[in-house]
A and B are shown apart, each in its own frame.
Chain A
Amino acid sequence: MKEPLPEPVIDLRGATASLGARPVLRGVDLTVRSGEVVALLGANGSGKSTAVRSVIGQVPLSGGSLSLFGTEFRRFRAWARVGYVPQRTTAAGGVPATVREVVTAGRLARTKLGVLRKADRAAVHHALELVGMADRAKDSVNALSGGQHQRVLIARALAGEPELLIMDEPMAGVDLASQEVLAAALREQVARGTTVLLVLHELGPLEPLIDRAVVLRDGCVVHDGPPPEAVGQHALPGHDHVHPHADAAAEPIRTGLLT
């Protein structure tokens, strides 16, 4: 007897969307089931970012259907169950803010009227520890490196203790040290049963975590199954990965984090 498949957390069917006059999604089916880690891959302009942004309602669909946690999108209100990491190069705004202040914004979905309780502060602290930024909590985000900005954005999503984590290119412009920290943080989330949908340019250090890869080309799904070999091989053990972002000083830092 086969076990029934877990409930779909994201169910996108026949989705079409256009930016201006240009059709970007041309009938995309994307199902992510509870506990799955799904990577959305594709070249620049393939529609992977648009697909993910349509799932969180930031790009309106011109056709097709979408439901989240079994609720039709129009009626979906349980945003506290979703953690979102937008594609950003910076976490900073026009006024200085500390790492903790930015991460605390991710807890708002779980607080009543914005009042922080003990549990909320603990969740924020835990999220900061997960991404290795607890010691920088009081620093201004303006003083951070690119990889640290990304860690802050991920901590902000984790602070809400989401059941579904959606990340748009979390590894873009991130140095190797931060990539490894983020991979470890994600591993812990996945172990706790969090469902993950992430847009990636290449699988990189996240490769072992990924259950399924969906590859888009010109707004259509061209592959839905195990992570493609050509990309996966890139991060296999023993693969001599000389990353262009890694400068000489970054190598020993990476060593320290993995022992």
Chain B
Amino acid sequence: MDILNYAFMQRALIAALIVGITAPAIGIYLVQRRQALMGDGIGHVALTGVGLGFLLNQSPVWVATAVAVAGSVVMELIRWYGKTRGDLALAMLFYGGMAGGVMLMNLSDAGSNANLGTYLFGSITTVSPQDMTTIYVLAALVLAITVGLRRQLFAVCQDEEFARVTGLPVRLLNLLIAVTAAVTVTVAMRVVGLLLVSALMVIPVAAAQQISRSFAVTFSVAVAIGVAVTLTGTTTSYYVDVPSGATIVLFAIGLFVVLTALATPLAKKRARAAAQPDAGCTLEVPAGRSAPDDVSVAG
């Protein structure tokens, strides 16, 4: 395993591992409340942060985090108040974020088209030791929230109205999901790039759904799939010299297709097994008893 002899590849693999864990961990809640594309929107907004970072000569990762968090909070506010044309407002935010990023990057001295490509599509081998510290801190935060508050987040994403009547701080929890998603986007930025980050939040969850019946299992399997595709994707990109982000995402889609193909006969088998006991019941009703008898018992 000569791949482990290089410090930059060690960092790349650790970063890939962390993204493989955190992206599906927050992505599952977005999918659960049917907002699978929110990660994509945050990715677009984060690009403005990257551009701003270059322009101000600050760390692009931290500025991108700040801008992505602000953008995600705005998206959440639009979801609360802008009921009618919320989708249009979100579209403005996405494209505005993208255009702002390209513009700011162009205005800065350090920013160039090569740099833009690094952030759009990821460049895992350029992860620096300083980046690693950032990634560790942010990933710890994401995991603490997505695992520690899993029951609360599950309730809010499953049925928001019910969660409010339970007395949960629904707005706070929704904001927390938005902010956590924004942080995850910037953590994953160097690994798969801003344009593909949403794929790692959604595809492992979609793949895990094919073979699981419970939320807990979906969560674990999605994280396992995330880790598997980021590690194999990064390793492959080292040996074959292909871009890491695209490789990871294509592996994830491949796994989704395989699991879907495997799951279809499994689901049919389960449906047959579930149908049989019900069919048996109708045969065991004693003769001579009719439904009207029982209505009077109930009364």
Interface residues of A (CB under 8 A from B): 56-58, 77-80, 82, 84, 86, 88, 91, 93-98, 101-102, 104-106, 108-109, 111, 114, 116, 138-140, 143, 156, 160, 180, 183, 205, 208, 235-241, 249, 251-256, 258-259
Contacts and interface: CB of A to CB of B under 8 A. Distances in A.
B171 interface: no
B166 A109 contact: yes
A236 B299 contact: yes
B238 interface: no
B281 A256 contact: yes
A139 B218 CA distance: 14
Contacts of B162: 84, 86, 105-106, 156
Q: Please classify the interface of chain B as helix (H, G, I), strand (E, B), loop, or mixed, using the class held by over half of its residues.
A: helix
A95 B209 contact: yes
Interface stretch (B10-18, B149-157, B224-232): B149-157
Q: Which 4 pairs of residues, A with B, have the shortest CB-CB distance?
A: A237-B299, A79-B167, A114-B151, A140-B213
Contacts of B150: 114
B172 interface: no
Contacts of B298: 180, 183, 205, 237, 258
A96 B221 CA distance: 12
Given A93-B157, A111-B151, A249-B282, 8 more contacts: A95-B209, A97-B215, A105-B155, A109-B166, A252-B281, A253-B278, A253-B281, A258-B294
Contacts of A255: 285, 289-291, 293-294
A94 B34 contact: yes
Interface of B: 28, 31-34, 36, 149-152, 154-155, 157-159, 161-168, 205, 209, 212-216, 218, 270-271, 274, 278, 281-282, 285, 289-299
A108 B168 contact: yes
A252 B28 CA distance: 41
A140 B214 CA distance: 6
Contacts of A108: 151-152, 155, 163, 166, 168
B152, B157, B161, B295 pick with most chain A CB within 10 angstroms: B295
Nearest to A82: B165
A95 B295 contact: no
Nearest to A176: B291
A178 to B, nearest CB: 13
6 contacts: A79-B167, A91-B159, A95-B215, A237-B298, A249-B278, A256-B281
A153 B147 CA distance: 25
Contact of A96 (B159, B213, B278, B292): B213
Nearest to A240: B292
A57 B34 CA distance: 24
